[in-house]
Chains A and B, each alone.
Chain A
Amino acid sequence: MEVRRKERIDRGIKVRSEGIYCVSSPKEMLYVAGPRLLLIAGLLLLPLVLEMAPYWKRVVNIMCVYGLLAISFDFLANVVGLVCLGGAMFIGVGGYMTAIFNVYLHCPVFLAIPLAGLSGALICTVLLLPCLALRGVYFAIVTLMYPLLFTRIIEALNILGGTNGITGLDSFPNPYLENYVIIVLLLIFLFGLRRLMDEDIGLVLRGVKDNDQSVRASGINVAHLKALAVFITSFIGCLGGAYLAHLYMWAGLSLFALDFSIIPIAAVTIGGGGSMMGAVIGTFILVPLSEFLRFFGTFRIVIYCLILTGFIVFRSEGLLTYFARKYDQFERWAKI
């Protein structure tokens, strides 16, 4: 029997466009920038394309919020190595903070959202600080508990509007602004985080995941680094939550819902972790899917979990890595 194996070879254009050489000709430039430009242009045009369908414009907004959560989960899990099982915590804290700034302190929308992002990130970081100096599953355990805990506290003490939530938040001045605020935020943070990973600090952060002892041996405080990473990600998450609260004009207990924790995880697993781009692609698949599955109610979470488990077990590389391979390499069967 003839034994063959699959051989993968980089495409010529991929090799030619590596590093500085990519500026040698328009073709190479397009090869490198094409997929990224496609994403940016597609996202920016989406609200205009969906002009006739206001409902789906709203879905795009929510999709971008999930996208923010997914890139922050991806950054935390696959770069720094901290698995956050409670993305809802960021959304909830951000949403409630913006409600406090906007309703109680009468800040305008575009001041309240950044303020909520900063203060919420600070709160989340301080709350998560005790488990940052430790390895292992502690971070996952503590983040799992916080969203449940916030719900209980707000119910029990009947603060911040209790079970009714805080109503009467200002909405965005016009629907286009509503769309583009979140789309631009998503793009900024997506490319910002990718940039950050290529900086020195990104290298050190990846070192924290791979070998924290050697990072420590280089005289760098691992707990500080982790706190910085948690601050960045919770800032992104809280901004998403603040935006969502203004979109609904309401901040309530459903901001701590399970969906905000599980969809980003599923999106990252489906899209492929480590590059942020996979996370965004995963959300763009999952969130519209969940709109079609609205009929099923909570059964949607079961579907996400099954897809997620399937991907983790059988296709742990994710879709993006798969397509990137097809884009960069060709495959052929070779005799051994």
Chain B
Amino acid sequence: MDILVYGIINSVTLSLLSLGFTLVYSISRLPNFAHGALYITTGYFIWQFLNALGLNYPLSILVGIALTAFIGAMMYRLILIRIRGMEISEIIATYAIGLAIIEGLRWGGLRGSTFTLPSFASGSRVILGVSVDDQRLLVVVVGFAVFALLYFFVHLTRNGLALRGIAQDERAAMMLGIDSDRMAIVAFAIGSSLAGLSAALILPLGNIVVEAGYNVLVFSVAVSVIGGLGSWPGAIIASFIIGFAQILTEKFLSSHFQMVIALLAIIITLLIKPSGILGRQKELEERV
């Protein structure tokens, strides 16, 4: 039973982590290798606001996420916009920015176990015979709320529809007067704030360590490759697969193998169905 409960929690966590990456990729076709860096930056910001500036907790979370969204948007507006379309440069630039942020934070003293965020909810309760602490439950609740919000955003609002239009067919969307660059900025802002939100939710469960930046990147990339690069429902399904696989490996093998599982899943996906679980008919485009 605990496999089921913790599996669901882990899966929702993963899909929160990977949703930002998938969203950015689906809209601007840019693999944002700085995703993990943005995640860890938010944690650092929140910690700084909380401890160095002495803001109260909800406010510092809000400001932290907003700042991360701004960084993401500026990353596109100032750097990536100039190299759009040059595939090699895009990959290298996002990777370099991500590394710069992560290693900069490491140099700036973000190491050891001194950096912790307080959790919002300290109690725990018993669900299906398994005791779960409230913070983890909160992750699941907020996770589902975010899915729902995102669904309504992209189906009902003007900006959301524009985002979907760009994701489906960039040229046709541009002919209808949707500015592709503006939408990419919006996508980067939303993707980064999703990374930030997941950081605010998940980091209180442990210490803030820079290595988490790499792990988050690896797992979010794995999830979105398996779900089909750029497919949001696919990413959610894939995160349930990976999430349960992780919990099972942790139970029967050891937690060191989680990354092995992620990579194995990617390779199996690439061998069997490269476009992923819900990749939309891109197989012809992607296979050589």
Contact = CB atoms under 8 A, between A and B. Distances in A.
Contacts of B225: 138, 141
Q: Is the interface on chain A under 10, 10 to 19, 20 to 34, or 35 or more residues?
A: 35 or more
Closest 3 CB pairs of A and B: A156-B256, A305-B100, A301-B103
Contacts of A262: 96, 99
Contacts of A312: 83, 89, 92-93, 96
21 contacts: A83-B88, A83-B92, A131-B270, A134-B288, A135-B285, A135-B286, A135-B287, A137-B229, A138-B274, A142-B270, A145-B259, A145-B263, A149-B259, A155-B256, A222-B288, A302-B100, A304-B96, A305-B96, A309-B97, A312-B83, A316-B86
B227 to A, nearest CB: 13
A258 B217 CA distance: 15
Contact of A140 (B91, B107, B263, B266): B91
A131 B271 CA distance: 8
B88 A81 contact: yes
Interface in B227-266: 229, 254, 256-257, 259-260, 262-263, 266
Interface string A287-311: 0000000001111011011101100
A34 interface: no
Nearest to B283: A134
Nearest to A132: B288
B256 A141 contact: no
A30 B148 CA distance: 70
Interface in A199-218: 212, 216
Q: Would you call the interface of chain B mostly helix, strand, loop, or mixed?
A: helix
Contacts of B79: 309, 313
Contacts of B99: 258, 262, 301-302, 305
A305 B104 CA distance: 10
Given A138-B225, A302-B104, A152 B270 contact: no
A126 to B, nearest CB: 11
B221 interface: yes
Given A138-B270, A148-B218, A133 B100 contact: no
Contacts of A152: 256-257, 259-260
A85 interface: yes
A240 to B, nearest CB: 20
A77 interface: yes
B106 interface: yes
Given A148-B259, A302-B99, 11 more contacts: A138-B270, A138-B274, A142-B266, A144-B218, A145-B259, A145-B266, A148-B214, A265-B96, A301-B99, A305-B99, A313-B79
Interface centre among A78, A134, A137, A146 (most CB of B within 10 A): A137
A135 B283 CA distance: 10
Interface in B70-119: 79, 82-83, 86-89, 91-93, 95-97, 99-100, 103-104, 106-107
A289 to B, nearest CB: 16
Given A296-B107, A313-B82, A149 B287 contact: no
A44 B234 CA distance: 56
A220 B218 CA distance: 34
Contacts of B218: 144-145, 148
A306 B107 CA distance: 15
B274 A140 contact: no
A100 interface: no
A306 B79 CA distance: 11
B92 A297 contact: no
Interface in A144-169: 144-146, 148-149, 152-153, 155-156
Contact of B103 (A130, A133, A302, A308): A302
A153 B260 contact: yes
B31 interface: yes
A196 B97 CA distance: 33
Contacts of B100: 301-302, 305-306, 309
A156 B218 CA distance: 18
B92 A265 contact: yes
Nearest to A307: B96
A222 B286 CA distance: 13
Contacts of A222: 288
A85 B95 contact: yes
A114 B266 CA distance: 32
Contacts of A72: none
Nearest to B104: A302
A223 interface: yes
A269 interface: yes
A280 B106 CA distance: 29
B210 to A, nearest CB: 9
A136 interface: yes
A230 B283 CA distance: 23
Contact of B104 (A133, A149, A299): A299
A14 to B, nearest CB: 28
